Amino acid sequence: MAVIFFIVVASFAAAGALWLAPSLFWERQRELAGLTERIERALKLAQPENGADSFPETVAVLKTVVKVTEVSGVILLDNQGREMAQIGGEPPVGVDQFQRGRRHYRQAPDGCCVDLYLVRERTGFPYDIVLRIDPGEIHRVTTGRLMRVLGLGAMVLLFGGAAALALLHRFLIFPLGTVRGALADIAAAKPVPILPREVLNKADMIGDLARLITPPDRSYQLAAVPAQGAGRDPQSGLINKIPFEVLSFDAKGALADANDAALWFFQCQSLAELQARDLCVFQAADDPEGVPQNLPELLHDGPLEVCAMVVGRPEPVPCRVLARADRKPEGDSQSLVVCLLPMEEQTDAESQAGNADILALEARVVSLKLLLEACLTLLATPNSKTLANAAQPIRTDILVEDWYLAAARGGLINKQMEHSVPGQVVGDQLAVESLIRHALSFVALRSQSERPVLAGSGAVLSADAVEFVFEEVGGPPVSDSSDGNKGHIPAGASKLPLAALSKLLSAYGGRVLAIRGEDDGNLIRFEMRARPPKTADMAAANKSAA
């Protein structure tokens, strides 16, 4: 930087010197010519009316000129160039070098004065005259001009140098620094392992549930429309694979489906027997502190989690109820999915376990909520989609952070988090949100740690594809619980989020790139159809996030 500044300043200084030197020379010559004209006029005005035709008259005139002009000394010369008289205190010297017949200047030997040779034809005197002129006025005028020029040059040097440095920084130094920083980031980046695709073919990675879903061969489309009645027909036995009690209701709140775990819980032999009962999954209406029984109205404001008395068995059973609505793009509820977690087991466990086990129970509730969301995705995502609104700017970093915070508050994962996912992408809002949540849920529910530490990263693969990698990077080991599962996570729980993720990726034009085994380091790597945001998209996403 200092070398560049020195070069710029030296260049401006050299240019100023080349412009200033000839300018001052010609200015001095103009001033000297003007001074000579004034002296000649003074000589003519000082002569007698008929002119000076004698030596005494000439001497008298020249003495007057010495008094009233810048002339300090005079020499009179005859026709042969011989000196006839000297007038004044500082007469000229060395007149032999003057060339007669024209006006001629010569710098005095001391450098402070100028000798001027005037022939008689120019002055009207009968003699040639050599005058010594004190050019003090010339020095004053040229010195003043020199100071003005130097001041102007200093300003030009200052502002020109600053402008040149600004341009150099903007178009040379800053781009070089940006490139250097990018190269340093690339050199320091942690490589993401690309695992062989044969891993995806292992049955234990996807499980029986994932094989029930036939991914559609559809190109990327825009904004989700939930499945309607016939859309679930190919998956009628899907919820029977879910290891906890799940009920599905229609938009009016009537029971539409139930899995085997729910039939066993309500002590029914068939779905028709359960539909014939006066089933209520919330507290009775005559309880003033209870929750309203109208299920569609209850889920109008979003997902629900309550402790309630479930009516439908010979005696009401206290349960933790998790419910969520599957909505149309217009916002109307189309189907309702409810998960039941009997609290009898929780009460017994809490009385035996203490505060540490209470936290584990809360974490299990969080994990069941994640599984419920995966179930809803599997039930609601159709094999064909008519999407609109797929070019929305989405803050993916906020989606990851929201999932982290919710899972950490519930004790499912460690409060530490690491992620460097792309801050924003443009794509389908519902698809991107669901894909990121299910990928994180898959890694968390697959962990062998009590509270795993997760990390996320991502990169833009092309103009319309973005890659995400979520992996487990640490956490304390988990102890076996009384029901044979690992800690708070139900056995095989990770299959549901993986199945939901696989179906969403197939429906929205993405794909799973790699899954790493639990013993090799819990990881999933996938790509989705999205694109990097433009400036207007980024502004809209930032405004929406704010």
Looking at the structure, do residues 386 and 354 belong to the same domain, yes or no? Answer: no
Please check whether residue 278 lies inside any domain of the structure.
Answer: yes
Say if residues 419 and 382 touch (Cβ distance below 8 Å).
Answer: no
Give the Cα separation of 70 and 134 in Å (integer).
6
For residue 175, count other CB atoms closer than 10 A to its CB: 11
Give the Cα separation of 437 and 376 in Å (integer).
13
Question: Which amino acid does the sequence have at 228?
Answer: Q
The pLDDT tens digits of the residues spanning 2-60 come to: 555 556 556 666 665 555 556 666 666 677 677 777 777 777 776 765 566 677 777 77
Looking at the structure, do residues 220 and 317 belong to the same domain, yes or no? Answer: no
Tokens 């609104």, located at residue: 389
Contacts (Cβ under 8 Å, ≥6 apart) of 520: none
Which of 348, 380, 412 is the last residue before a domain boundary? 380
Please check whether residue 174 lies inside any domain of the structure.
Answer: no
As a three-state string, the secondary structure of 55-106 is: HHHHHHHHHHHHHHCCEEEEEEECCCCCEEEEEECCCCCCHHHCCCCCCEEE
pLDDT at 221: 26
Looking at the structure, do residues 530 and 398 belong to the same domain, yes or no? Answer: yes
Which of 349, 380, 411 is the last residue before a domain boundary? 380
Looking at mean pLDDT, say which of 132-136, 172-176, 455-459 comes out highest. 455-459
Contacts (Cβ under 8 Å, ≥6 apart) of 523: 443, 469, 470, 471, 472, 514, 515, 516
Say if residues 224 and 430 touch (Cβ distance below 8 Å).
Answer: yes
Q: Is 111 left (phi over 0), alpha (psi -120 to 50) or beta?
A: left
pLDDT at 22: 63
Asked if the model's pLDDT at residue 298 lies above 70, the reply is: no
Query: Coil, strand, or helix at residue 393?
Result: strand
Give the Cα separation of 222 and 330 in Å (integer).
15
Looking at the structure, do residues 120 and 215 belong to the same domain, yes or no? Answer: no
Give the Cα separation of 277 and 388 in Å (integer).
41
The pLDDT tens digits of the residues spanning 384-416 come to: 554 444 577 888 888 888 888 888 877 777 766
Give the Cα separation of 145 and 487 in Å (integer).
92
**What is the chain's mean pLDDT, rounded?**
67
Which of 353, 380, 407 is the last residue before a domain boundary? 380
- Among 149-163, 183-197, 307-321, 499-513, the range scoring the smallest mean pLDDT is 183-197
Please check whether residue 184 lies inside any domain of the structure.
Answer: no
Q: Where are the beta strands (DSSP E) in 78-191?
A: 83-88, 104-107, 114-118, 128-133
The CA-based dihedral angle spanning residues 196, 201, 202, 205, taken in that order and rounded to the nearest 10 degrees: 90
Number of domains into which the chain is organized: 3
Give the Cα separation of 518 and 486 in Å (integer).
13
Query: Coil, strand, or helix at residue 120?
Result: helix
The pLDDT tens digits of the residues spanning 88-110 come to: 765 555 555 455 444 455 665 55
Say if residues 135 and 32 touch (Cβ distance below 8 Å).
Answer: yes
Please check whether residue 3 lies inside any domain of the structure.
Answer: no
Which comes out higher in pLDDT, residue 30 or 218? Answer: 30
The enclosing domain of 296 has a CATH number of 3.30.450.20
Looking at the structure, do residues 32 and 126 belong to the same domain, yes or no? Answer: yes
The enclosing domain of 211 has a CATH number of 3.30.565.10
Helix 55-68 × helix 2-46 angle, to 10°: 140
Looking at the structure, do residues 359 and 278 belong to the same domain, yes or no? Answer: yes
The pLDDT tens digits of the residues spanning 164-200 come to: 777 777 777 767 777 676 667 666 655 544 444 333 3
DSSP for 251-285, written as a single string: TTS-EEEE-HHHHHHTT-SSHHHHHHS--BSS--T
Say if residues 421 and 394 touch (Cβ distance below 8 Å).
Answer: no
pLDDT at 108: 58
Looking at the structure, do residues 295 and 413 belong to the same domain, yes or no? Answer: no
Looking at the structure, do residues 325 and 374 belong to the same domain, yes or no? Answer: yes
> Which two tokens mark 4?
């560049």
Asked if the model's pLDDT at residue 271 lies above 60, the reply is: yes
Starting at the edge strand found earlier in the chain, the sheet holding 104-107 runs 83-88, 71-77, 128-133, 114-118, 104-107
The CA-based dihedral angle spanning residues 153, 156, 158, 164, taken in that order and rounded to the nearest 10 degrees: -140
pTM, entire model: 0.39
Q: What is the residue range of 416's domain? A: 195-224+381-546
Confidence grade of residue 377 (pLDDT, cut at 50, 70, 90): confident
Please check whether residue 528 lies inside any domain of the structure.
Answer: yes
Pairing mode, if any, of strands 453-462 and 245-250?
A: unpaired
Asked if the model's pLDDT at residue 272 lies above 80, the reply is: yes
Please check whether residue 189 lies inside any domain of the structure.
Answer: no
Looking at the structure, do residues 207 and 317 belong to the same domain, yes or no? Answer: no
pLDDT at 96: 52
Asked if the model's pLDDT at residue 443 lies above 50, the reply is: yes
Confidence grade of residue 146 (pLDDT, cut at 50, 70, 90): low
> Which two tokens mark 528?
């989705």
Please check whether residue 53 lies inside any domain of the structure.
Answer: yes
Looking at the structure, do residues 376 and 290 belong to the same domain, yes or no? Answer: yes
Closest CA to 220 of 534, 432, 532, 513: 432
Contacts (Cβ under 8 Å, ≥6 apart) of 5: 161, 165
Tell how far CA 303 is from the center of its chain. Answer: 34
Looking at the structure, do residues 279 and 316 belong to the same domain, yes or no? Answer: yes
Query: Coil, strand, or helix at residue 148?
Result: helix
The enclosing domain of 66 has a CATH number of 3.30.450
Confidence grade of residue 210 (pLDDT, cut at 50, 70, 90): very low
Please check whether residue 492 lies inside any domain of the structure.
Answer: yes
Looking at the structure, do residues 504 and 519 belong to the same domain, yes or no? Answer: yes
> Which two tokens mark 98?
């003057």
